[in-house]
Amino acid sequence: MFQTILVALDNPELSEQIMQAVTQIKLQPSDQVILTHVMPSSESMLDQPADRPSNDPQGLYRQIEQRLKTRQEELSCQTELEIVAGDPAEEIVRLANIHKAQLIVIGTRGLTGVNRILKGSVSSQVVSEAHCSVMVVKPNS
């Protein structure tokens, strides 16, 4: 049914649940899964916690790449990795268009009220702008 699936793994806390959702899809060996991570643009790097190595972008890139490769090993179909920088929602939709994805799988932080207004909802923006189906994985309560 879905021959090309874009999986956004930007939230390490949700990655396990997102991958569980992906493995529940009956993937065929000929299907393709694009595992992606959108690195924040330099201006939003100021929002990063002090324990993240934002002053070492190459080290951060390698960490992200290694996490994606670990997830890649969980899949029994064709896979590709995409690590890009920019606005998360825009980049996820752009990559889905480039790869002609039939499905985007993305997590949600579950923000509500004022937090959702102030911080924005990447998943809501992807749902409204994507030209394909979107599966939003909510965090376990």
Note whether residue 114 is domain-resident: yes
Single pTM value for the model: 0.83
Q: Does residue 94 fall inside a structural domain?
A: yes
**pLDDT tens profile 72-124:** 999 999 999 999 999 999 999 999 999 999 999 999 876 555 555 555 688 98
DSSP readout, 86-123?
A: S-HHHHHHHHHHHTT-SEEEEE-----HHHHHHH--HH
- List the CATH number of the domain containing 123: 3.40.50.620
Closest CA to 7 of 52, 67, 48, 61: 67
Provide the domain limits for residue 16: 6-42+52-137
Task: Return the higher-pLDDT residue of 111 and 52.
Answer: 111
